[in-house]
Amino acid sequence: MSRNPVFHTTSRGFPANSGVAVDEPFDALARPSNDDLITAALSLWPQGAAWGSPDGEAVPLSSVLARFTRVLIDGFAWLYGRAFRLALEASPQGAAELLPEWERDHGLPEPCFTGDRSIAERLSALAEMVRGRTAIHPQDFIRIAAIFGFEIEIEEPAVFGCGFSECGGYHETASGDQETYWVVRVRDAALGFFEAATSECGYDPLFSTGEAEQILCLLRKLAPAWTLPILMPWRTHGVLTTETGQLLTDEFGNVLIVPL
């Protein structure tokens, strides 16, 4: 049975691109076409038979004047669409062409990560930076890891303390400074350990973390100054329930889980 509080979520809980990118509107005001503007533009010409509108009749769209007017307004249609696109760029949720400038202003891309990242991941990271949310609770760090495409689990050591813990309880006896550490487990992380008779001295590291090192780098930057995240292999847990499916909890209401 797990003796320490474990905070865990799935990628379903915090999808990396959840609610960040916004769809561009395609109505006549946001991105007008030549057809959207031609009728209004023809009304600006003088009225009369010489202009193709005798007795106030509408100018036929097939007329020479209408075709000439289409040429004049074509540049305005392009300009109107570009102006609206620029207005969307003023928000990080609508950033597209100015995304590199947004990232430069906010210290992105995050130097802890290497390789190319998708536009959705870049927008998610930018939105998180602009919001300026602090990371205090373990769920905050889990959410941030999900933004960068990592599903993690956090386990906080609970050291036995007089006046707080109970004999036979879940708190382990250990040095008090162990509470400065918190364990991070990354799903599907390629963690490797030096193995006797298999690994090679001077070549294989004692402990390799692969891509998990990237999210650990970020978590250590965001972690409270008195704490230090450390990596451990992923473990699958099961929740203890009764025969009727009711969750079992301790005296504090924490769900009881067991490593599988």
Edge-to-edge strand ranges of the sheet holding 228-232: 6-8, 152-155, 181-186, 228-232
What pTM does this model have? Answer: 0.56
Query: What is the extent of the structural domain holding 213?
Result: 6-17+133-259
- Indicate the number of domains in the chain: 2
> Of 77, 97, 117, which residue constitutes the final position of a domain?
97
Mean pLDDT across the chain: 78
Least confident of 37-41, 220-224, 230-234: 230-234
Please check whether residue 164 lies inside any domain of the structure: yes
- 92 and 147 together in one domain: no
Same domain, yes or no, for 91 and 141?
no
- Measured from the Cβ of residue 116, the count of other Cβ atoms closer than 10 Å reads 8
Closest residue by Cα to residue 182 from 238, 131, 140? 140
Q: Judge if 157 and 218 occupy the same domain.
A: yes
Confidence of residue 176 (pLDDT cuts 50, 70, 90): low
Question: What is the per-residue pLDDT across 58-85, written as a single tens digit (0 to 9) for each?
Answer: 888 889 998 999 999 888 888 888 888 8
Instruction: Give yes or no: residues 171 and 249 share one domain.
Output: yes
pLDDT at position 243: 85
Q: Which CB contacts under 8 angstroms, 24+ apart, belong to 43-49? A: 45/69
Record the tokens describing residue 104, joined without a space.
């430069």
| Strand 181-186, strand 228-232: pairing | parallel
- Indicate whether 192 and 245 sit together in one domain: yes
Buried b (16+ CB within 10 A) or exposed e, 53-63: beeeeebeeee
